[in-house]
Structure formats: structure tokens, C-alpha cells
Amino acid sequence: KQEVTQIPAALSVPEGENLVLNCSFTDSAIYNLQWFRQDPGKGLTSLLLIQSSQREQTSGRLNASLDKSSGRSTLYIAASQPGDSATYLCAVSGSTGGFKTIFGAGTRLFVKA
Amino acid sequence: DTGVSQNPRHKITKRGQNVTFRCDPISEHNRLYWYRQTLGQGPEFLTYFQNEAQLEKSRLLSDRFSAERPKGSFSTLEIQRTEQGDSAMYLCASTRAGRGWTGGAYNGYTFGSGTRLTVV
């Protein structure tokens, strides 16, 4: 059974810091991994999607890496800003029959001005 | 296309009442998913449709819950005889899957803003 763990559960940093959010998953038979952002009381906004054949994806100040064999992904945020404050969720999607997209519980990020 | 749309945004209901939520996916997306999210947790899968066919249901989906996607476009999620434990954010997502694909969301999901249900 696939399990997704995100560490840390919460993080508070001063503005301008570079930071890394971690995601690990127990079953390496994934098709892709997706990072989402969620603001309080809102839906999920997709940030980056990494297919299993890829090692990383970049969008602006965000960079996500994937090491499928070790079951790990990291989301790197450069030069953090107060507007980055949100919960970041990692989700892995399976590659074999039926539904297998599993979410982690998220990392709650607070960037202090 | 304005993305995935969910209505209502908020619903407060008394215990024992029935509620229905609606999701309008991105028009070219053939797959539609329903998730439930409680405070401090990630979304949990409830059910999904490929076109009008409901292909999988989670054990979380008790017999008080029913979902439909009658024409393969919008979907409704109904909860009968609501309980306080049903209070959560109900999220809808859509994606496009190729013919015969039975895996997860290989092109990634697009989520709606959710419907927050409070049962009092």
C-alpha cells in the first residue's frame, strides 16, 4: 500500500531564505509525482508535475526533484517571500491498474516578513 | 475554459439533512475525481469517473454517499442523512486520460476550489 510522508509538517522561515520541503513514498512504482500549493480554506493549485522518467522540473523560483528508486522528492523554494506562505502537498500517481494517487499530509510554510 | 468549478463554495446543514454538491470539470477532461479533506490532512480519494462510468469507489464512501456523472460532463456528490463526521472540504479534480489507460492521473490533476461542508 502506497504511503506518502512529508517532512517537516510545519516550517517558519524569514523572508529571503532558500528552503527545501521533503516528500517520501513507499512504493517506487509511480507514474508521476505532483506538488501542489493550498492556501487556507481553498482548493489545490498545481505547481510542478514530474513524470517518472524525469529527474526534475523547474518553474520560476521552484525546483522539484525526483529520485524514484529511493522514493524521494524535494521541493526547493528559492528566495522565499511572504506570499509563499501556504501548505505544500505532494501526491504520487500509480502506474498500474485502477486508481492509485495518494497525497501526503502537507508541509505548512510560513514566511516571515 | 475557466478550470474546474465547484458549487456551492460553502454549505452549512443540520445533522440528518441531505446535501448535494456539483463539479464542472475542464471540458476536454474525461476523468473526474472526488476527494475529501479534513483539517491538517491531505486529500483522501473518494471515487472517480472515466466519462460517465464510475470506475472506483473508496471504502470511505459509505452507502450514504452517492456520486453521478450522467452525461460524462458535470458530476454531483450527494450525502444523505449527514453526520457531524461528514464535515470536511470536498474537492473535485479532473484530468485527461488516454483510451485504455487504467493508471492514475498521468497528466496531473486540476482541482476546483472545493465545497466546505459544515454539519451542525
What is the phi-psi region of residue A55: left when phi exceeds 0, alpha when psi lies from -120 to 50, beta otherwise? alpha
CB contact under 8 A, A42 and B107: no
In chain B, which residues have their Cβ closer than 8 Å to the Cβ of A100? 103-104
Strands B10-13 and B115-119: what pairing? parallel
The whole-number pLDDT of residue B105 equals 64
| Mean confidence (pLDDT) of chain A | 93
Does residue A46 sit at the B interface (CB-CB below 8 Å)?
A: yes
Does residue A96 sit at the B interface (CB-CB below 8 Å)?
A: yes
Cell of B100: 485504455
CB contact under 8 A, A32 and B105: yes
The whole-number pLDDT of residue A1 equals 82
Query: Is the peptide bond preceding residue B43 cis, with omega within 30 degrees of 0?
Result: no
CB B83 within 8 A of CB B119: yes
Cell of A21: 520541503
- SS3 at position B27: coil
Does residue A98 sit at the B interface (CB-CB below 8 Å)?
A: yes
Q: Cell 526533484 sits at which residue?
A: A65
A-proximal residues of B, 25-54, CB under 8 Å: 33, 35, 40-45, 48
CB contact under 8 A, A93 and B104: yes
Quote the distance between the C-alpha of residue B67 and its chain's center.
Answer: 8
pLDDT score of A62 more than 90: yes
CB contact under 8 A, B111 and A93: no
The whole-number pLDDT of residue A96 equals 59
Per-residue CA distances from A38 to B4, B60, B74 (Å): 15, 23, 24
In chain A, which residues have their Cβ closer than 8 Å to the Cβ of B101? none
pLDDT tens digit sequence for A13-61:
999 999 999 999 999 888 889 999 999 988 999 999 999 899 999 999 9
Provide, rounded to the nearest whole percent, the portion of chain A with pLDDT above 70: 95
| Local confidence pLDDT in tens for the 120 residues of chain B | 579 999 999 999 999 999 999 999 999 898 999 999 999 999 999 999 989 999 888 888 889 999 999 988 999 999 999 999 999 999 999 988 776 666 666 678 899 999 999 999
Cell of A28: 517506487
CB B13 within 8 A of CB B38: no
CB pairs under 8 A between A and B: 82
